[in-house]
Amino acid sequence: MGVAADGGLRTIAVTHQRLLLLALFLASPIVARAAPAAEGTATVPRFEPAPCPKLPGTEELGKASCGYLVVPENHNRPTGRTLRLMVAKYPSRSTEKRPDPVVYLAGGPGDIAPLEVNGFIAADFIRDRDIYVVSQRGTMFSEPALTCAAADDFARELLGFRFYSEATKRAHLAATEACYREFAATGADLSAYNSTESAADFADLRKVLGFTVLGADPYARSSRGHPQRRPRFGLAHHVQRRRKLAERARRV
């Protein structure tokens, strides 16, 4: 019982830590806001060059060139809504650069890719290959970003709450439910924000930029092989699961 309880507390602590970190970044005025996805008539997927964003802790982006990978929100509906995923290319500085790059996908999924990779780039760990850093669908720097004021407010107020008491859990679930309603009202297909679709985005990136891949971070395991064989778990799964918990809490 003690081991199980300790594991649960560690999970809750990690969740709180991520919520607090995300709230700090979302409070910054330089964070890109969610943009409405538009139905695209141009070729999809495609790559659109753009300036690199700026955010404290991502100083290495100054060495990169950036742009957006435009992909279908739902790959089963290729002529429907589109998403824009920020891609940063950190060029190799070696005179003996190899042709196959490394692609970095942040963990979670849901973490902030340029922030995660900043120290890795600064250390010049890989010198002989270009490194591509991809902001996955729904995350910061992708458009639309599934950010939500209710979740941000909860994360900022969390320090004043009793550690995951019943009241804290109810507040957390209420914020999650509010976010679900907000996202659904935009017309977003929340079922498309999962690892299967992210794997298809990765395949689109390879197609558009025309490269083979040496490797990526551990989360990239979900991008290997045929996308339809990958587990369907991601942002939508998390939101829907929390919504069900909120409904259950109201009935108690």
Q: Tell me which of 154 and 42 has the higher pLDDT.
A: 154
Chain segment 61-88, per-residue pLDDT in tens:
999 999 999 999 999 999 999 999 999 9
Percentage of the chain modeled with pLDDT above 90: 38
Q: CA 149 to CA 151: how far, in whole Å?
A: 6
| pLDDT of 239 | 45
At residue 158 the predicted structure's pLDDT band, cuts being 50, 70 and 90, is confident
Q: CA 150 to CA 49: how far, in whole Å?
A: 33
Q: Tell me which of 146 and 109 has the higher pLDDT.
A: 146
| pLDDT of 31 | 32
| pLDDT of 250 | 54
Please give the full DSSP string across 229-252, using - where no structure is assigned.
Answer: GS---SHHHHHHHHHHHHHHHHH-
Chain segment 195-251, per-residue pLDDT in tens:
899 999 999 999 998 876 555 444 444 444 444 433 333 444 444 444 554 555 555
Q: Tell me which of 120 and 132 has the higher pLDDT.
A: 132
Mean pLDDT of the chain: 75
- State the residue range of the domain holding 46: 2-251
Domains held by the chain: number: 1
| pLDDT of 170 | 92
| pLDDT of 35 | 38
Q: CA 186 to CA 181: how far, in whole Å?
A: 9
**Are 129 and 101 contacting, i.e. CB atoms less than 8 angstroms apart?**
yes
Residues 6+ apart with CB under 8 A from 184: 190
Task: Compute the residue count for the chain.
Answer: 252
Residue range 26-47: mean pLDDT, rounded: 53
pLDDT of 145 strictly over 80 = yes
Q: CA 47 to CA 197: how far, in whole Å?
A: 17
Q: Tell me which of 246 and 151 has the higher pLDDT.
A: 151
